Amino acid sequence: EERYRQLRDSAESARDRRDARLQLARIAAQQGHVEEALETYEALGAKSPHDDVIGARALWEASTLLEEARDVPERVRTLRTTLVRRYPGSTWAETAVDALAAEARERNSPEALRSLVSTLHPDIEDTPVADYLHFEVARELETIDASDDARKLYQRQLRRYPDGSKADDAEWRLAQLHLADQRWSDAIELLRRVAERVQISWFAGTYTSPWASPARYRLGFLYLTHLSDYERAIAHFRQHLSDFDGNRLTDDAAWGIVEAHRLAGRQQRYRDELRTFVETYPESRYAREARERLE
């Protein structure tokens, strides 16, 4: 503690002086001096620039200290909403959004979740965390079965922030809601967009969406099982095999091709695809079924 006090008073760098104050606040918290720690934390978060990591972290640590020390949820919420407004470009702002959304969800209150967006969004609408706020609140709305509210919020997010960091995730989640409601055309439009995000860079690996593979597979499965369009189903399954060779859904897509030919009544092609499947995917969970059908 004494060394940090010396650093606070003598360091040439303002950042070093602020970091020393942050460490002193932590020491005060460890010693049980909650109000002293909170005073330092809140002072650090009060006047620093909006891109200041120390100020953002100080407000987050103040909120967690208060949450652990006593039952004052309103003050905890105030600290976290202040953090989001004051440091919207910080990863700590995203952490605060997570906590605020989770707390509203624990109250099982769609109104509290909707209010979180309406309260915060006007102050952060042109910042990176606005896209994140929409997505996290919509996701929490899904968990309490407020699907209509979640759908509207995902749609608003995609209208306002089509290139946001969570847009890809929002399109995937919204597609799942459309599928659950059997809104096939809406689901197909979203799944196509996600499935086409396959991009390989020679110097930086892959930019492929984590949802591109399941989206392409779901397109094939939808045409196979619900729309009975076997040619389109096969086309999507083959595209999956082309884009995602060795993927965990590879044998599922190959099996989808087998089933499409069976359902289309093409007996010879069906037998040929069964043989190909057994030879290509001998360890697949479908392999035993394929062998039995051939026999």
DSSP codes, the chain: -HHHHHHHHH-SSHHHHHHHHHHHHHHHHHTT-HHHHHHHHHHHTTSS-TT-HHHHHHHHHHHHHHHHHS--HHHHHHHHHHHHHH-TTSHHHHHHHHHHHHHHHHTT-HHHHHHHHHHHHHHHTTSHHHHHHHHHHHHHHHHTT-HHHHHHHHHHHHHH-TTSTTHHHHHHHHHHHHHHTT-HHHHHHHHHHHHT---EETTTEE---TTHHHHHHHHHHHHHHTS--HHHHHHHHHHHHHHSTT-TTHHHHHHHHHHHHHHTT-HHHHHHHHHHHHHH-TTSTTHHHHHHHH-
Q: What is the mean pLDDT of residues 150-172?
A: 96
Q: Is pLDDT of 202 > 80? A: no
Q: What is the mean pLDDT of residues 210-226?
A: 97
pLDDT of residue 52: 82
- Band of the pLDDT at 245, cuts 50, 70, 90? confident
Q: What is the mean pLDDT of residues 228-233?
A: 98
Q: Is pLDDT of 253 > 70? A: yes
- Please state the pTM of the whole predicted model: 0.87
Q: Is pLDDT of 254 > 80? A: yes
Q: What is the mean pLDDT of residues 11-31?
A: 92
- Band of the pLDDT at 289, cuts 50, 70, 90? very high
